[in-house]
Amino acid sequence: MWLALTAVAVADKPIAIGTADVLKPAPVVVLSFPAAVFDHIKGPTAIFYFSPTCPHCQDVMPTVNALVGETAHEWLGMASSRATRLEIERFKTEYKPEFQILHDDLNAAFATAVSARSTPAIYIVYPREKSAIRADDPPNAVALRDGYAPFSRGMEGLFYLRSNLGSPFSHFDRYQGPRVCGSCHQVEHKSWVITHHAASYRTLYARDQATDTACVGCHVTGIDAPGGFTLADHASPMRDVTCEACHGPGGPHNPSTTKPVDPKSSCESCHDADHSINFSVAKGLPHIDHFVAADMSDEALKARIIAIGNGEAERPLLAFPDGPTAGSQACKSCHKSEHKKWSASPHAKAMKRLTGDKAAAETCVRCHATPKGFGLDSKTEGFHTDESVGCESCHGGGGAHIAAPSKENIVGLGSSCPECVIEAVCTSCHTPQWDPQWDLKSRLEAIKH
Ligand code: HEC
Ligand code: HEC
Ligand code: HEC
Ligand code: HEC
Ligand code: HEC
Ligand code: HEC
Ligand code: HEC
Ligand code: HEC
């Protein structure tokens, strides 16, 4: 049944465009192996080609060991020609490979035979089938059936899948990681990479909070679940809010779920009242559009990936409800002391910084004054330039609150996670360009009212 799996269109959008390529058996390539290696190829064999001193090879060892015995392959290790005997012994002691290790000879005969360019790599080779043997086969001929060069963490799901093309999702009862989903769902993957979900672990790492258990759960996928994220594994393929944070482990392809997860029901487990005030699925969905990348130029896509990676990409501000603002004067009667403190702060005078025609330029005014409304077209609505950065720049529109004061109809900020919520409000103006020394704690202290 899975062999009939093909890309489909949902509302005219082609989903899973990479499927046919991922499920296509690779063309068989006949190679001539060095005799010492050839003698080991008795059946389907996975050869792990590595250098004992290469950090990527070391990183990937637990993953490779976990694959041993899970598929029909025999396993063999092949240390690159430049490795020394001592290095290989040390590697064995430290990483405990669960397979025999051979050493490519001085002429790198194995590497030459498979045209290896880098380590680590996995090559799948089969003995030549009797019926396929031809008179002009080279000596010690084997059939190369597949290759993962380079092989890295997060590709193990692909290894399983390609090892079992008749039933590719049989291992999808656990987390797979975005590279596996993205191999078929290529456009969805590209579109995800340019959202902040794809950098949510970086957000914590950059502020030295990546091992803070009060934070990590919502900024990674499947913490402590089989195949999911484990604390302090900074290179895990399950860091960040990946496909399966919303679609569940294995997504709709999970063979042990009868009813696929509705991804829309996942949002609020992380976007709760303290960590994402005023969030709604409807507000959030346009920002996770899985097909935006399809209409982007390569340059635009590249620029956005770099910006996300550097933590400099613009973020949508989800915190404020749509609607007009009333102006800070309207808050004064009930919030006298807050108003007094604010009036004396630089925020209340920010427009003074804009001289000449800058005082009317939206490119400047948008951060130096309060918008007349949120979610509205700011061009036609304009700004309260008389008050500069007023109460509602941080607390959202207060019209409903003034009419019937309550904590429910104003953005309080007091009980919110400062890093997740307040920082997002502040950094919508305090961007790296305008405030390179930004520091949440000291800046919050400075505006206390
Ligand atoms: C081997 C290719 C392949 C891989 C790998 C793959 N998918 Fe799919 N996926 C498909 C195809 C083809 C469809 C459309 C046909 C179908 O629904 O069976 C699809 C459909 C979907 C759908 C839509 C289902 C619906 O009914 O609307 C979602 C969601 C999805 N995949 C998520 C994922 C996630 C998450 C992963 C990774 C855990 C993943 N897929 C891995 C090929 C793949
Ligand atoms: C596993 C937790 C988790 C789930 C589930 C989740 N989010 Fe998020 N979301 C986050 C985190 C964490 C961030 C902040 C990322 C950062 O900037 O570090 C975020 C940021 C966002 C943003 C703003 C950043 C951007 O790139 O535009 C939007 C919009 C968003 N999420 C929408 C959604 C929607 C819609 C859903 C459900 C379909 C959802 N999220 C599900 C954790 C989650
Ligand atoms: C309950 C889930 C959850 C927990 C726990 C959590 N976060 Fe978040 N975090 C989110 C969500 C959701 C967002 C996106 C909020 C939005 O855009 O509305 C976010 C956004 C952020 C942002 C981006 C703010 C910006 O500049 O836009 C930072 C930084 C952050 N979180 C840091 C932390 C830290 C530090 C902790 C631990 C003290 C933490 N988070 C705990 C869910 C969580
Ligand atoms: C923040 C949550 C979230 C993340 C992360 C996420 N998705 Fe989705 N995905 C959704 C939601 C919600 C929908 C349903 C969209 C709708 O109905 O408008 C969806 C729909 C889909 C569909 C069906 C086509 C469609 O748009 O209706 C596929 C396929 C899919 N996702 C694959 C993926 C893959 C692959 C990844 C990772 C590269 C991924 N998703 C990441 C939430 C998410
Ligand atoms: C008519 C009097 C009145 C006016 C005008 C008023 N407020 Fe309030 N505000 C209150 C009261 C009363 C509370 C406390 C509600 C409670 O504790 O249940 C409050 C609470 C708040 C809170 C704290 C919410 C929380 O979660 O703790 C904020 C922030 C706030 N107001 C901002 C504003 C802003 C901004 C304006 C002007 C746009 C404004 N208020 C105008 C009466 C008013
Ligand atoms: C993205 C928001 C944003 C935009 C757009 C913006 N500013 Fe600012 N500006 C700020 C912030 C935040 C500060 C306070 C920085 C600090 O004190 O750390 C500031 C400070 C200033 C200052 C005083 C400090 C300094 O750097 O000299 C001047 C002058 C200024 N802005 C002028 C302008 C002009 C002129 C424009 C339009 C070309 C502009 N700003 C556009 C956010 C912005
Ligand atoms: C630069 C952003 C910013 C501006 C401008 C601002 N506030 Fe706040 N306000 C905050 C933050 C952040 C908090 C919560 C954290 C704290 O207690 O410092 C807060 C808390 C409050 C509270 C709750 C105080 C408490 O003790 O719980 C009230 C009421 C309030 N603000 C009213 C106002 C009013 C009225 C104005 C305008 C006169 C105003 N704020 C301007 C950011 C701002
Ligand atoms: C609407 C845009 C905007 C928002 C939102 C905003 N600020 Fe500002 N902030 C400014 C501008 C512009 C200045 C520069 C004022 C001046 O010096 O003329 C400034 C100045 C400041 C200053 C004084 C200068 C400095 O760098 O020490 C502090 C402190 C500050 N902001 C903290 C915050 C905090 C904390 C938040 C979030 C709770 C916040 N701001 C939200 C625009 C904003």
d(CA 264, CA 260): 12
The distance from CA 7 to its chain's CA centroid, rounded to whole angstroms, is 23
pLDDT tens per residue across span 235-279: 999 999 999 999 999 999 999 988 989 999 999 999 998 999 889
CB 25 within 8 A of CB 61: no
The two tokens of residue 340 are 């007094």
Using alpha carbons, select from 214, 168, 154, 183 the residue that is nearest to residue 420: 214
Quick one: what percent of the chain has pLDDT higher than 70? 96
User: In the Cβ-directed half-sphere of 347, how many Cα atoms lie within 13 Å?
Assistant: 24
Contacts of 442 (CB under 8 A, 6+ apart): none
Pocket test for ligand 7, best of 338, 384, 407, 421 (most atoms within 8 A of CB): 338
Q: Say if ligand 1 is within 6 A of residue 176 CB.
A: yes
The distance from CA 100 to its chain's CA centroid, rounded to whole angstroms, is 35
Q: Say if ligand 2 is within 6 A of residue 288 CB.
A: yes
Residue 340 has pLDDT above 90, yes or no: yes
Q: Which atom, in ligand 7's list, is nearest to the CA of 335?
A: 35
Q: Say if ligand 4 is within 6 A of residue 302 CB.
A: no
Q: Say if ligand 6 is within 6 A of residue 315 CB.
A: no
Q: Say if ligand 2 is within 6 A of residue 206 CB.
A: no
| pLDDT confidence band for 425 (50 / 70 / 90) | very high
Q: Which atom, in ligand 3's list, is nearest to the CA of 212?
A: 37
Q: Say if ligand 6 is within 6 A of residue 317 CB.
A: no
Using alpha carbons, select from 168, 167, 144, 173 the residue that is nearest to residue 158: 168
Distance 139 CA to ligand 4 centre (A): 50
pLDDT tens per residue across span 320-335: 888 889 999 999 999 9
Residue 3 has pLDDT above 50, yes or no: no
Say what the pLDDT of residue 14 is. 80
For residue 44, say if its preceding peptide bond is cis, omega within 30 degrees of 0: no
Q: Say if ligand 1 is within 6 A of residue 244 CB.
A: yes
Rama region for 14: left / alpha / beta (φ>0; ψ in -120 to 50; rest): beta
Say what the pLDDT of residue 110 is. 98
Say what the pLDDT of residue 323 is. 85
Q: Which atom, in ligand 1's list, is nearest to the CA of 176?
A: 38
Say what the pLDDT of residue 380 is. 57
Residue 4 has pLDDT above 50, yes or no: no
Q: Say if ligand 4 is within 6 A of residue 188 CB.
A: yes
Using alpha carbons, select from 170, 159, 160 the residue that is nearest to residue 1: 170
d(CA 197, CA 188): 13
d(CA 143, CA 127): 6
Q: Say if ligand 4 is within 6 A of residue 197 CB.
A: yes
User: In the structure, which protein residues have their CB atom closer than 6 angstroms to any atom of ligand 8?
Assistant: 346-347, 349-350, 353, 367-368, 389, 393-394, 422, 425-426, 428-430, 435, 443-444, 446-447
Q: What is the gyration radius of the CA atoms in the chain, in angstroms?
A: 28
CB 222 within 8 A of CB 245: yes
Overall average pLDDT of the 77-82 stretch: 97
Overall average pLDDT of the 43-56 stretch: 98
pLDDT tens per residue across span 354-380: 999 999 999 999 999 999 998 765 555
Return the ligand number nearest the Cα of 209.
3
Distance 344 CA to ligand 8 centre (A): 13
Owner of token pair 């008749």: 166
Signed CA dihedral, 448, 316, 242, 296: sign only: negative
pLDDT tens per residue across span 107-164: 999 999 999 999 999 999 999 988 888 888 899 999 999 999 999 999 999 999 999 9
Residue 291 has pLDDT above 80, yes or no: yes
Q: How many CB atoms lie within 10 A of CB 117?
A: 9
d(CA 406, CA 164): 59
Say what the pLDDT of residue 7 is. 58
380-407 CB burial, b ≥16 within 10 A, e <16: eeebbbebbbbbbbbbbbbeebeeeeee
CB 227 within 8 A of CB 238: yes
Say what the pLDDT of residue 375 is. 79
Q: Say if ligand 6 is within 6 A of residue 234 CB.
A: no
Range with lowest mean pLDDT among 28-32, 109-113, 416-420: 416-420
d(CA 246, CA 271): 12
Say what the pLDDT of residue 319 is. 84
Signed CA dihedral, 399, 400, 403, 404: sign only: negative
pLDDT tens per residue across span 377-408: 555 579 999 999 999 999 999 999 999 999 98
Pocket test for ligand 7, best of 320, 325, 395, 448 (most atoms within 8 A of CB): 395
CB 7 within 8 A of CB 15: yes
Q: Say if ligand 4 is within 6 A of residue 271 CB.
A: no
d(CA 175, CA 245): 9
Distance 329 CA to ligand 2 centre (A): 35
Using alpha carbons, select from 292, 301, 291 the residue that is nearest to residue 14: 291
Using alpha carbons, select from 97, 86, 94, 93 the residue that is nearest to residue 50: 97
d(CA 81, CA 77): 12
Return the ligand number nearest the Cα of 350.
8
Residue 59 has pLDDT above 50, yes or no: yes
Q: Say if ligand 4 is within 6 A of residue 178 CB.
A: yes
Q: Say if ligand 5 is within 6 A of residue 405 CB.
A: yes
Kindly report the protein residue whose alpha carbon is nearest to atom 34 of ligand 6: 364
Distances (CA, A) of 160 to 69, 73, 176, 190, 312: 11, 11, 10, 23, 37
pLDDT tens per residue across span 187-206: 999 999 999 999 999 999 99
304-322 CB burial, b ≥16 within 10 A, e <16: bbeebeeeebeeeebbbbe
d(CA 213, CA 344): 39
Average pLDDT, the chain: 93
Using alpha carbons, select from 77, 17, 88, 2 the residue that is nearest to residue 53: 88
The two tokens of residue 425 are 């409000």
